[in-house]
Structure 1
Amino acid sequence: MSLPVIKILVVGGSYGGNTFLKFFLKLVEKYEGNSPRFDITLVEPRRGFINILAIPKAVLDPEFAKTTYATIENMGLPFDFLDSTSTTSDSSLRLRYIQGWCHELHENYAIVKPVDNSAELSKYEFDYCIYAAGRSRPWPFDPKGFDKKYYLEEMEKSTEKIKAANIISVIGAGAVGIEVAAELKTDFPEKKVLLIHPHDNLPPENRLSQIFKQKNLEFLKDVKVEVKLNTRVLKEVENGFLTTNGDFVESDLILWCSSKQNNLKPLLNNEKSPFKDCIDYKVDDIAINRNMQIIRYDESSYDFSNATVPAKFEKIFAIGDVSKIPAVKAAGGAYRQAIVAAENVMAIVRNELYNEQNELKMIDLWGAHMTLLVGPRHSVTQNDDELLLDNADTLKLYEDYCNDFVSKTQGIKFD
């Protein structure tokens, strides 16, 4: 008697998608001999894994950037097929990688657009989907990185632009903006580095304490970054930009860290998309419940902890930056969400095929957790009510912007 085949589509191979795959494969191994066959497809435009935590330094140090990209062969995943639609494997587990983007997501299939635009769109059916497509930022902070060579060329190009500028304005004092500004002033102390922020404190995350924000500001000033709060850019002009107050700010190079956009187009490209009612358009987040399943969103009645799931969305999960979750979003949060999603996919599979009664796992929300590196000498960490400043262990961990830590937790080998 042939085993049933369960098809799983994973959209996005960064922290959330990669963690889901690693953890789910452990569950497959756990139930080996008493399990269906799994046909898993990863759709990801990068032919590898970038430690995005290290981008603030990688954009201005190509040699360091070389240590932040793990090629697909070094991601620690047993791919049967690379860039192939073949399903000829007789194994109980098939793991396939497709280099491309999810163009349209439907209830039980996706349309995939390959990186090579000359190739045709492809259709991939699924029983379960993990949507971990992340968010986009302005270049160079969201490098295309189609392969390692392409990625390093991007980092070399950004470094050249930085070296050619005497006055650099970093727009937006979120986590990326703070770390980028501090790295710029550390590596190029002769340059004038401005950090422009529209609010009266930084970073803007409202779950973080005022003392956390104040210490970041103090450390930025200590490394000689010129911080301009309550300053909003109106438009770029020759040799600088204009503020909404009518001031002209001279700048040779403007680096935008203020804007980011969740990658939701695949859910909206289809006019009849069932997911249009699942998005909080004020923040462009996909509504989920505590099991990581996608749900419909109604601002007046939305309840993260007690939300019910329409039957057609029971097997579609959203994790990472794209998801609406009442917590500080970070790589560690995506890691936690991915584990919950993996356990729940396996639970539903076994409940349906083997009449088991597995309860779905619910995410344990993390508190206000964030660490920011403000140059090589300063770090600010908030763990709920605890504040750590210039902690020796933290500074050691961030010497390589967590490359070693990410390698161990994600099970990958940076080249």
Structure 2
Amino acid sequence: MVSGSTRLSVSNHKAVSFTTNILIVGGAYAGLSAINTFVNQFRDKIDKFPNTFKENHVTVTLIEPRAGLLNVLGMPRCIVDEEFSKTQFIPMNKIKNLKFDRVISKDMKFLNDMVEETKVSKNHEIGLDLNFVHGKVTYLDENKASYQLSSEDSEDTEEAIIDFDYVILASGRDRNFPTTPKAFSYDYFLNEMRLSKRSIVDHETISIIGAGAVGIELAGDFKHYLPNKTINLIHPHGDLPPESALSKEFKDLTLESIKASGINLYMNTRVNLGSNDSHDNKIDRGITKGDLTTTDGNTIKSDLNIWCTMHQNNTSFLSSSLQKKFRTDKNCIRVNEYLQLHNKETGETIPTFFVLGDLVDLNIIKSAGWALYFGRVVANNLSSLILEDKLVEPLADIDQTPKGMVLVAGNGELICELSGVVSKNVPDYVAEYRDYCFGRIMATIGI
């Protein structure tokens, strides 16, 4: 491990260079699952090695551009329900069971709040130091990362370097605004949601282009919470959602629910990607105004358009060498059964580099559940590597794991396919989706 990881001051409001034993890139479901599990595993195992880290603590650094945990599952409803959005972002200083010892952030209010939390940290009692960096990684290889602190000032590009022994990449994926807000802080997020809802309320006909899971839930929630609006859902295929692993029964039930809610559904319809792409028609990332033209020459009347036609895995900051060796054509990252960087064709593995969540090149339907599971597996293995020099837990057999999904469709209905069973409005799931699974997620993470 890095000899003598840099011991930061309790708080910094400028980017500083330092070293850490473990760097976790991304503090959403997977990253928080990893860091909290690591702390708990380390606490459980350190009694077997009482003097190992008495003087030189193991330092873990989490870097995340948001000053808290945003429940992205709840985003479709957040956009049209301001009161609900207030419940879907937990500031980092409000996370109960995870305490940091040192914080770097340009947000002085957040920095002061976090400094108060560092006073109750007991990490030092088990030989740990936890750092939180409120920023984003701009470059990453197998030994170091460059980063910038989060800032509303787009001209603020000051960078610093973090050297590390191990890295956990959990940077996730982004979609167009408003389903992926910047959400630098709690207040910033609420303002983004207020502005998004205002755009929707000010227009009568809203079109959602793309009926993947996010597009379906956006259309369903928009119609459910703004029933007087005309909602169009436009999809280029004959069934939805597009995941081939899902059964025809599930897709038919979803389709039936959407139609029954009064959403105008356009199947087998492709919108010209250039529709309304002039500067005057753009409101923000992923939102345009005006009628849409289809590839077969028809026009769909529309006032406001929300594009759900793409997502982007956050891998662009990886070094060119890592991208060449481990990134697939679909912008996923190749891993082995321990979620370490691994190229099956060349046999090359980087044992100190782990990848989690939506980024992995595995045959799964990407979900919060998988992200939480991956975080626990990697944390267990990493604590064992550091304390016992061995890996202890491979992934479960992915190919034998049943595929499934839970969708909020029309009229607030829950369409479920789990372990091959398709159902609607199962009471337990209805209860969980009152907060879009946020309570369950936080309980699973342990925060």
**2:419 aligned with 1:384:** yes
**2:67 aligned with 1:47:** yes
User: What letter matches 1:240 in structure 2?
Assistant: D
Matched residue, 1:83: 104
CA–CA separation in structure 2 for the residues paired with 1:178 and 1:274: 35
User: What letter matches 1:8 in structure 2?
Assistant: I
Residues 109-188 of structure 1 correspond to what in structure 2 (within 5 A)? 109-116=144-151, 118=156, 120-188=158-226
Q: 1:109–1:168: structure 2 CA closer, same or farther, 3 Å change rule? A: same
Residues 2-17 of structure 1 correspond to what in structure 2 (within 5 A)? 7-17=21-31
Given the alignment, which residue of 242, 245, 266 partners 1:228? 266
Given the alignment, which residue of 293, 296, 313 partners 1:262? 313
**2:304 aligned with 1:253:** yes
Matched residue, 2:354: 317
Deviations 1:206-237 (A, max 9, x none): 11111111110000011111111111110323
Matched residue, 1:191: 229
Measured after TM superposition, the shift of residue 375 of structure 1 is 4.0
Deviations 1:237-273 (A, max 9, x none): 3621111111111111101112100001111xx44x3
Whether the 8 Å CA contact 1:12–1:44 is kept in 2: the answer is: yes
**2:386 aligned with 1:349:** yes
CA–CA separation in structure 2 for the residues paired with 1:239 and 1:118: 35
Aligned-residue RMSD, C-alpha: 2.2
Matched residue, 1:304: none
CA–CA separation in structure 2 for the residues paired with 1:393 and 1:274: 43
CA–CA separation in structure 2 for the residues paired with 1:119 and 1:7: 25
Matched residue, 1:95: 130
Q: 1:364–1:15: structure 2 CA closer, same or farther, 3 Å change rule? A: farther
Whether the 8 Å CA contact 2:333–2:359 is kept in 1: the answer is: yes
CA–CA separation in structure 1 for the residues paired with 2:204 and 2:370: 37
TM-score (norm 2): 0.83
Matched residue, 1:201: 239
User: What letter matches 2:215 in structure 1?
Assistant: G
Measured after TM superposition, the shift of residue 84 of structure 1 is 6.8
Matched residue, 2:87: 67
**2:36 aligned with 1:22:** yes
Of the structure 1 ranges 91-100 and 45-54, higher mean CA displacement relative to structure 2 is found in: 91-100
Of the structure 1 ranges 375-384 and 160-169, higher mean CA displacement relative to structure 2 is found in: 375-384
Measured after TM superposition, the shift of residue 360 of structure 1 is 4.2
SS of residue in 1 equivalent to 2:242: coil
Measured after TM superposition, the shift of residue 168 of structure 1 is 0.5
User: Which runs of 5 or more residues in structure 2 are unaligned?
Assistant: 6-19, 107-122, 277-288
User: Which runs of 5 or more residues in structure 1 are unaligned?
Assistant: 302-307
CA–CA separation in structure 2 for the residues paired with 1:377 and 1:173: 16
CA–CA separation in structure 2 for the residues paired with 1:262 and 1:377: 29
SS of residue in 2 equivalent to 1:399: coil
Q: Percent identity?
A: 32
Deviations 1:185-210 (A, max 9, x none): 11111111010111111001111111
**2:324 aligned with 1:291:** no
Matched residue, 2:428: 393
The count of residues paired between Structure 1 and Structure 2 equals 390
CA–CA separation in structure 2 for the residues paired with 1:345 and 1:278: 21
Deviations 1:165-202 (A, max 9, x none): 11100011111111110111111111110101111110
Measured after TM superposition, the shift of residue 343 of structure 1 is 1.4
Whether the 8 Å CA contact 2:224–2:412 is kept in 1: the answer is: no
Whether the 8 Å CA contact 1:293–1:309 is kept in 2: the answer is: no
Deviations 1:344-364 (A, max 9, x none): 212222343xxxx55442334
